[in-house]
């Protein structure tokens, strides 16, 4: 089937199998590989992107479901400068191996849109769908707090 999805501000249109997952459309069809597949079971959040501005797990959405909609991946965040959330992650060392980071950052962008100044408990609760095996979360929470202020 033909899907048409606006990705990072550019309208993309491709023939794909009906069963194509959004994450595979982004990575394999478009070559946008920032979005990672971690668990592939809807649990880890590494594949988080924005769909019409809201955080979603792209391993649990069909490209067909996103057809006619807008997707933003990590590649679409920075303009000539880093996005404030990216900058905060860099300054506060919110990333170690970096595998969870693209999904984590997209989840944070969505969170800050709904709650621009979350406290530390709210940050932890809001990011429970994003697992990180490296940082112990401390610096991630610091980064979100900094980005929110």
Partner 1 sequence: MIPAPFDYRRPGSVAEALELLASPGAALLAGGHSLLPLMKLRVVSPDVLVDVGALAELRYVRLDGDTVEIGALTRFCDLVVDPVIREHAPLLARAASSVGDRQVRHRGTIGGSLAHADPAADVPAAVLACGGVVMVHGPDGARRVHTRDFFLGRCRTALGLGEMIVSVRVPRQTHWGFEKFTRRALEWALVGVAVAGESVVLINMGDRPVRAGVTEAALRQGASIEQAAGLAAWNTDPVDEPHASAGFRQHLARVLTRRALQRAAGRVPGGLS
Ligand X SMILES: Cc1cc2nc3c(=O)[nH]c(=O)nc-3n(C[C@@H](O)[C@H](O)[C@H](O)COP(=O)(O)OP(=O)(O)OC[C@H]3O[C@@H](n4cnc5c(N)ncnc54)[C@H](O)[C@@H]3O)c2cc1C
| Site of interaction with ligand X (CB under 6 A) | 42-43, 60
Shorter beta-carbon distance to partner 1: residue 29 or 82? 29
Provide, rounded to whole angstroms, the least separation between the CB of residue 80 and ligand FES. 26
Unique residue bearing structure tokens 């990011």: 127
| One residue of 24, 27, 57, 92 binding ligand FES per CB under 6 A | 57
| One residue of 47, 50, 72, 147 binding ligand FES per CB under 6 A | 47
CA distance 68 to 78: 23
CA distance 139 to 123: 12
Would you state the torsion angle of the CA atoms of residues 87, 51, 101, 12, taken in this order, to the nearest 10 degrees? Answer: -90
Provide, rounded to whole angstroms, the least separation between the CB of residue 93 and partner 1. 23
Write out the H or E segment, with its range, that includes residue 48: strand 48-51
State how beta strands 70-72 and 48-51 pair: antiparallel
State how beta strands 70-72 and 2-7 pair: parallel
> What does 97 bind: ligand X, ligand FES, partner 1, none (CB cut-off 5 to 8 Å by kind)?
ligand FES
CA distance 7 to 114: 22
Write each residue from 95 to 134 as x if it is in contact with partner 1 (CB under 8 A), else as -, in one continuous string: ------------x--xx------------xxx-xxx----
User: Residues interacting with partner 1, by CB under 8 A?
Assistant: 1, 17-19, 21, 24, 40-43, 45, 48, 51, 54-57, 60-62, 64-65, 68, 107, 110-111, 124-126, 128-130
């Amino acid at each position: 089937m033909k899907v048409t999805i606006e990705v990072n501000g550019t309208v993309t249109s491709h023939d794909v199998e009906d069963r194509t997952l959004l994450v595979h459309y982004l990575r394999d069809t478009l070559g946008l590989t920032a979005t990672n597949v971690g668990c592939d079971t809807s649990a880890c959040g590494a594949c988080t992107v924005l769909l019409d501005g809201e955080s979603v797990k792209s391993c649990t959405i069909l490209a067909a479901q996103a057809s006619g909609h807008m997707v933003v991946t990590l590649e679409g965040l920075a303009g000539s400068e880093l996005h404030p959330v990216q900058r905060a992650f860099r300054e506060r060392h919110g990333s170690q191996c970096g595998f969870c980071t693209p999904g984590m950052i997209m989840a944070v962008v969505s969170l800050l849109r709904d709650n621009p100044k979350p406290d530390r408990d709210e940050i932890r609760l809001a990011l429970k769908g994003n697992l990180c095996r490296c940082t112990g979360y401390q610096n991630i929470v610091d980064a979100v707090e900094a980005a929110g202020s």
